[in-house]
């Protein structure tokens, strides 16, 4: 009987081989990406022989559905598009290759770990994440609204970004630790616009995300505070929040712009396997700003409170004991410093009205700001 290592080496021999597979109900030609010990096979560059229909991304089939497997040698290269060609086409469709090259160059120090199987790296990654008090969460989806599939899940700690290939790992990733992390109330999850992630985790994997700090909501609350009670006409994108609050130069935000462009114009890019390294870097960059962003936003949101506390201390430090016990102040009256908040709010309203255009709905047009 073959040992575990011998069996793994045997299965590895079939990686990257093009095969024709006869299934119970159809016949496909594909490239084998991986054969798992649980008798499942991960295929890529898959198309159906009878109809010629191509399947984007990867396809999982079960051993009990396989009737016959044959090595396949394509007659014409024109009939079968290689995975590398598919990647090249996708990357070219993103736009300026110089920008992509810049990402690779200035993000070479990015410490990220790709996890696309449960062996080796998955266990240590889950253990490390469970030890954290605060983590950043990002995700990429594919498919129409209400039917989208979670393709990638990024988890950022202080020192490393873990990129989980959910398309390959499937529900096993959540059953083996990710569900516990995402539902654990003692771990704060920082994300930007949690709505998509919450819905997809719930509907696709029955996972309930808890204890969330949303940087988009925090930016919205800060705008409301700074303008004296006005709401903006729209919420901010991640790149806008990073640029405004972390003071990151625009030329350093190209990974975030490209990720947004992919999601809007080329969502199938998150479905391609193996994933090009440049896209892995883009996904890693999309979550590295979340932890410092949370701290900056918290400080900004608490600035009025901090100012009032300072006023409390300075006002009492400058008053004599006789003034504090003159019968007019017994500690329950509303302090003068608090009453000044209304004057501050009115000043902010005037400033906002001067710097922004007001829409017909009474909202402030973010794009109209003038200092």
Residue with tokens 């051993």: 63
pLDDT reading at 253 higher than 60: yes
Classified by CATH at the fold level, domain 4-81 comes out as SH3 type barrels. (2.30.30)
Q: Which CATH architecture has domain 85-299?
A: 2-Layer Sandwich (3.30)
pLDDT reading at 352 higher than 90: yes
Q: So what's the pLDDT on residue 2?
A: 47
Determine if the peptide bond prior to 274 is cis (ω within 30°): yes
pLDDT in tens, 156-205: 999 999 999 998 898 999 999 999 999 999 999 999 999 989 999 999 99
Q: So what's the pLDDT on residue 363?
A: 94
CB 281 within 8 A of CB 162: no
Q: So what's the pLDDT on residue 86?
A: 44
Nearest 5°: the CA angle 368, 369, 370 is 115
pLDDT in tens, 111-126: 899 999 888 899 999 9
Q: So what's the pLDDT on residue 245?
A: 94
pLDDT reading at 309 higher than 80: yes
Q: So what's the pLDDT on residue 319?
A: 59
Instruction: Locate the domains of the chain by residue range.
Output: 4-81, 85-299, 302-368
pLDDT in tens, 33-62: 888 777 788 888 888 877 777 787 788 888
């Amino acid at each position: 009987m073959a040992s575990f290592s011998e069996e793994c080496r045997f299965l590895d021999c079939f990686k990257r081989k093009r095969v024709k597979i006869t299934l119970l109900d159809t016949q496909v030609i594909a490239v084998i990406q991986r054969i798992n010990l649980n008798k499942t096979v991960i295929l890529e560059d898959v198309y159906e022989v009878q109809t010629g229909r191509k399947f984007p991304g990867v396809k999982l089939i079960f051993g009990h559905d396989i009737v016959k497997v044959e090595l396949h040698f394509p007659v014409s290269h024109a009939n079968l598009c290689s995975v590398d060609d598919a990647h090249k086409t996708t990357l070219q469709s993103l736009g300026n290759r110089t920008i992509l090259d810049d990402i690779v160059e200035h993000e070479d120090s990015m410490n990220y770990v790709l996890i696309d199987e449960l062996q080796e790296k998955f266990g240590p990654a889950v253990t490390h994440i469970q030890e954290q008090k605060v983590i950043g969460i990002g995700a990429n989806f594919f498919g129409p609204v209400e039917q989208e599939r979670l393709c990638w899940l990024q988890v950022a700690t202080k020192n490393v970004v873990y990129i989980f290939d959910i398309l390959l790992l499937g529900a096993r990733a959540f059953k083996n630790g990710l569900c516990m992390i995402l539902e654990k109330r003692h771990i704060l999850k920082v994300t930007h616009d949690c709505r998509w992630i919450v819905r997809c985790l719930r509907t696709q994997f029955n996972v309930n995300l808890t204890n969330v700090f949303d940087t988009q909501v925090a930016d919205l609350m800060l705008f409301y505070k700074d303008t004296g009670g006005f709401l903006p006409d729209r919420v901010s994108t991640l790149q806008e929040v990073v640029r405004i609050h972390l003071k990151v130069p625009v030329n350093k935000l190209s990974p975030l712009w490209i990720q947004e462009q992919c999601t809007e114009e080329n969502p199938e890019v998150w479905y391609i396997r193996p994933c090009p390294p440049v896209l892995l870097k883009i996904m890693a960059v999309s979550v590295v700003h979340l932890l410092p962003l949370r701290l900056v936003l918290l400080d900004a949101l608490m600035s009025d409170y901090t100012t009032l506390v300072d006023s409390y201390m300075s006002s009492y430090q400058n008053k004599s004991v006789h003034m504090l016990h003159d019968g007019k102040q017994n500690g329950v009256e509303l302090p003068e410093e608090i009453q000044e908040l209304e004057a501050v709010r009115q000043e902010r309203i005037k400033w906002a009205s001067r710097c922004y255009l007001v829409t017909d709905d009474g909202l402030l047009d973010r794009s109209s700001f003038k200092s």
